[in-house]
Amino acid sequence: TAANKTKLTIGLIPADGIGKEVTPAAVAILESLKGPLQFDFINLDAGFEHFQKTGKALPEKTVETLENACDGALFGAVSSPSHRVEGYSSPIVGMRKRLDLYANVRPAISVPSAQNANQTPVDMLIIRENTECLYIKQEKIETDPASSLKVAYATRKISEHASRRCGKVAFESALKRDRLRQSVPLNQRVWKGKPKVTIVHKSNVLSITDGLWRETVRAVANDEKYKNVDVNEQLVDSMVYRMYLEPQAFDVVVAPNMYGDIISDGAAALVGSLGLVPSANVGDKFVLTEPVHGSAPDIAGQNKANPIAAIRSAGLLLEHLGYPDEALSIYNAVDAVIKEGSVLTPDVGGRATTDQVTKAIMDKL
Ligand code: ATP
Ligand code: MG
């Protein structure tokens, strides 16, 4: 691992839209960290805009540089055209595949402030399977000869291998969160109980695919290492319902790709904005972090994107590379700015610019 280095090489892939505004904000924060840790940054191309210019959404050079020269990477955001564009496929999906980044780790944490005084506190971690489910994109369309009407099909893949390794990330994360929580006074914790993993599925309807997912993740729980972790299950529809009414009922939540995508956008709404939530794409050999939000074309280029999701993503990157103290100082600086509430972007009720929020967080470091 990178954990004993004093200089880290980080690949930067700002990509599209507000990705180009929030990635530099994350870099500025990393550069202003106190302490001996230094960074080399390598700028790398990818994205829809790059595809329009060059015909390539994910240049080979980007993947090779990540594999051979980088300790980890910060990704910005990618535009997904709403209809099929010939020859284009999402570079983030490509990178997940090429680097085998099989789990997507998405913390949703609310920070109490004057702006959100009546918001229910949230501190949950969603683990989204990152390689299969409906995202294998095996679709086909036919015409029904009898009616001449079209019929479309999508194949959903669930494997024991992918489900197991994703399950392990969930249980390991539950133990890690429990260790970190010990330093927080009990009355300040959102989650006060034993570590818990909630398995999301819909095996009452999809008994074969979701059945395999559920059984495989449950089997991970039998490992002696996880004997102190509680396990429960939630059907995906009731997961959404309960998450809105009682988000504090969840610690770690693990879900197949599609359900994970949907519930993590829902969790972002619960904590106040897509502009606040980071994510990490993790594999056995590499980690690439990115904000959960997309390229937000509606606000791109206006210096009003919330940089906090990208800045927290830089924290997650350090956490996963083995630098928890540096990560914590980033999280604390962000929390302090949210708590004060005077320098925030419009999505969370403020009037400040991307640059002003970045500067305010920098000052807290
Ligand atoms: P994409 O196709 O890239 O996903 P999108 O239109 O789905 O683009 P998202 O980025 O997912 O856009 O954003 C959804 C909404 O949330 C938009 O209205 C956007 O302005 C807002 N939003 C997303 N990220 C941020 C941010 N960092 N700061 C402020 N608002 C944001
Ligand atoms: Mg989107």
- Per residue in 137-147, pLDDT tens? 899 999 999 99
Has residue 1 got a pLDDT over 70? no
Ligand 1 within 6 A of CB of 312:
no
pLDDT in tens, 185-240: 888 888 889 999 999 999 999 999 999 999 999 999 999 999 999 999 999 999 99
Predicted confidence band of residue 24 (pLDDT cuts 50, 70, 90): very high
What ipTM score was computed for the predicted complex, to two decimals? 0.94
Counts of helices then strands in the chain (DSSP H, E)? 11, 12
Check whether 304 has a pLDDT greater than 80.
Answer: yes
Ion ligand 2: residues, CB within 5 A, are 294
Which residues on adjacent β-strands are paired with residue 40? 9
Residue 39: is it exposed, middle or buried by C-beta count within 10 angstroms (0-12/13-18/19+)?
A: middle
- At residue 14, the 3 state secondary structure works out as strand
Quote the DSSP letter at residue 205: T
Residue 116 has pLDDT above 80, yes or no: no
The pair of three-digit structure tokens given for residue 270, joined into one six-digit string: 């619960």
Q: Pick the atom of ligand 1 nearest to 299's CA.
A: 20
How much of the chain exceeds pLDDT 70, in percent?
A: 99
Q: Give the distance (Å) from ligand 1 centre to CA of residue 161.
A: 33
- Count Cβ neighbours within 10 Å for each residue of 106-128 and write b for 16 or more, e otherwise: bbbbbbebeebeeeebbbbbbbb
Q: Is the pLDDT of residue 117 over 80?
A: no
- 277 C-alpha to ligand 2 centroid (Å): 13
| C-beta 294 within 6 A of ligand 1 | yes
Neighbours of 87 (CB within 10 A): 9
